[in-house]
Amino acid sequence: MKNYLQKILQGQAINYEAFLKKLPDSQRRRHRELFATEKVGANRWQVSILDEAAFEELHRQAASPVSRVDAAKKGDSHRHGTDVSFLLVYHHALTGNRPDSVVITGDSVDIGFRPAPRVLVVENERNFYYYRQMLAFAGDCLGQTVDLTNSDVVLGGGNRITGTADLNWLTSYDEVLCAFDYDAGGLQMFSSVRSALGDKACYLQPADWQPWLSRFRKTPDSTERFTKALSLAEDLEFVSLAQAFRATGKFMEQEMILDE
């Protein structure tokens, strides 16, 4: 919405119908009291401001929130990432089956163990619980021993691991192995991690996808999602994964790694 408001102030034509969809319900219902419009082209309207006070209120609501609390006051806390993060971790110093935790608050990290040189980030909770199998899978993918003597295991919990605070903490590791779903969402997550961590980030996948093709069983939600996954795989130079997508027409969820 912020971009539309700025264009209106600058006298630029906008797609008014698209703009209306961005407005809060209360302002959308009375938009004719707030704005006057003149169509100047295909999907383009020149917009005049009729109610300056209401327009200023829209500007205030559209301004980027400075904190999660500020975002909540503006009606949507999800517009601002949380500044506190809790991560579950398996590491070599554990004496039981219960994972440890790391608490990240801004630049402050509360951690009760010495991190290993490498970390395995597992997106799915079930796969995280079976961390020994995931470490073995990582070892098969890399062709070397991967266990708790040289690797911590962190629960990524979906997109939360791509938050700024979490990514900043992950930079302390020499290598970050990513066990994400083999679909558009997983590839997008890895793309975000790679952008932040560079060559430290590694997307775990078998050297040869052929024996795994029968595990590609998830039908994409749409053609667009399938096309996006192909595009991301090719952009990341995961040629064999892109070939697996094309051969099966499906995605592989990481739970299939546990299907022995």
pLDDT in tens, the chain (260 residues): 788 888 898 899 999 988 898 888 878 888 998 999 999 988 899 999 998 888 888 877 777 444 444 444 444 433 334 568 899 999 999 988 899 999 998 778 999 999 999 999 999 999 999 999 999 999 999 999 999 999 999 999 877 788 888 999 999 999 999 999 999 999 999 998 998 999 999 999 999 999 999 999 999 999 999 999 999 999 999 999 999 999 999 999 999 999 76
> Do 91 and 163 belong together in one domain?
yes
Q: What is the pLDDT of residue 83?
A: 67
Q: Which domain holds residue 203?
A: 84-258
- Tokens found for residue 101: 């935790």
What is the tally of structural domains in the chain?
A: 2
- Tokens found for residue 236: 């990341």
Q: What is the pLDDT of residue 42?
A: 84
**C-alpha distances out from residue 194 to 10, 25, 31, 165, 169, Å:** 37, 38, 43, 15, 14
Q: What is the pLDDT of residue 82?
A: 52
> Do 89 and 151 belong together in one domain?
yes
> Do 142 and 163 belong together in one domain?
yes
> Do 156 and 94 belong together in one domain?
yes
Q: What is the pLDDT of residue 137?
A: 96
Picking from 77, 97, 123, the residue at the C-terminal end of a domain is 77
Helix (H) / strand (E) containing 122: strand 118-122
**C-alpha distances out from residue 3 to 28, 61, 62, 184, 186, Å:** 17, 13, 9, 28, 30
Q: What is the pLDDT of residue 66?
A: 44
> Do 10 and 116 belong together in one domain?
no
Picking from 77, 96, 127, the residue at the C-terminal end of a domain is 77
Distance of CA 145 to the CA centre of its chain: 29
> Do 66 and 130 belong together in one domain?
no
Q: Report which DSSP code applies to 92.
A: T
**Dist. CA 120–CA 204, nearest whole Å:** 9
Nearest Cα neighbor of 249 from 259, 225, 257 is 225
Picking from 38, 61, 77, the residue at the C-terminal end of a domain is 77
> Do 98 and 56 belong together in one domain?
no
> Do 31 and 107 belong together in one domain?
no
> Do 144 and 57 belong together in one domain?
no
CATH classification at residue 233: 3.40.1360.10
